[in-house]
A = this chain, B = another copy of it.
């Protein structure tokens, strides 16, 4: 019998997200997992792991129960039961109406990095019996969440000292660019990006190819090449599909494999860097993970890189790998 932690769903009012350019809610539902012994020992303080959901997810997605796939709290229960030190788990909501924010600040979506780092982390530290200080704080996620974890850790070593990525976005050359042209085929059905967005908003059921097109060009464009006026630039010409080098260069500034050298100092402060990806990832992210692994090695930055024989989807069973490592590293 696995002792079960408790889940509290916080309705978190973000000042930072208020009035965001996409009109997304500034109140977010954020589940917080408290280990099974949290109530029993009121003097104990716990490390905190921030779990970042993937694209099209929301904060609540990570706690949804289902028949054959464990939820994040169930996984954390297992990890603790198996002997790892207990930790608090916070599951922020980084969604936008077009799929997700990549957990970074952008004039086209909102200040999602600030919302987590400047607002949510202090709030959690006030509300719960956390162990204070970055040494006891980690960040991890899957897919866009794995990306967000790496970027938040690189940019905020004074906040996070443990980071893990499951199949995170990286090496955009292989992870994003190959999918641009299929996305353009979809967008061009509607004659313009604006037309496409109107059509997307109106779909009672979001078509798969439309959601993919939205992800790869609109949401990523909003995240990586947003403009001060709230608009965003595409890294390809919509009609001819020709790469716009200047915009693409802006995207690459946000590519973890490019950022690694720039943020080497921060990465060296981490108590844990764990990167894994399945060897059949449909978005080619295992190649990105290998490249990041090589660059970290070249920079002499301690880290762990793992692969497993699977694709990008439904890899919840892998999450114990990071949860256990983080719980142990941040104790």
Contacts and interface: CB of A to CB of B under 8 A. Distances in A.
Contacts of A67: 56-58, 95, 97, 99
Interface string A49-66: 000000011101100111
A131 to B, nearest CB: 31
Contacts of A241: 171, 174, 284, 287-288, 290-291
B290 A204 contact: no
A110 to B, nearest CB: 15
Given A185-B280, A240-B294, A284-B181, A204 B64 contact: no
B317 A171 contact: no
Contacts of A159: none
A243 interface: yes
Contact of A65 (B60, B179, B288, B290): B60
Contacts of A57: 66-67
Nearest to A317: B204
A205 interface: yes
A299 interface: no
Interface in A293-325: 294, 310, 314-317
B314 A205 contact: yes
A66 B243 CA distance: 34
Interface residues of A, number: 48
Interface string A28-71: 01000000000000000000000000001110110011111100
A239 interface: yes
Contacts of A185: 279-280
A173 interface: yes
Nearest to A200: B68
A178 interface: yes
A198 interface: no
Interface in A139-175: 171, 173-174
A177 interface: yes
A18 interface: no
A235 to B, nearest CB: 12
A182 B185 CA distance: 21
A287 B69 CA distance: 32
Interface of A: 29, 56-58, 60-61, 64-69, 95, 97, 99, 171, 173-174, 177-182, 184-185, 204-206, 211, 239-243, 279-280, 284, 287-288, 290-291, 294, 310, 314-317
30 contacts: A56-B66, A56-B67, A57-B66, A57-B67, A58-B65, A58-B66, A60-B64, A60-B65, A61-B64, A64-B64, A67-B95, A67-B97, A67-B99, A68-B206, A68-B211, A171-B241, A174-B180, A174-B181, A181-B284, A182-B284, A185-B279, A185-B280, A204-B317, A205-B315, A205-B316, A205-B317, A240-B287, A241-B284, A241-B287, A241-B288
9 nearest A-B residue pairs (beta carbon)? A241-B287, A178-B178, A204-B317, A181-B284, A240-B290, A64-B64, A68-B206, A240-B291, A174-B181
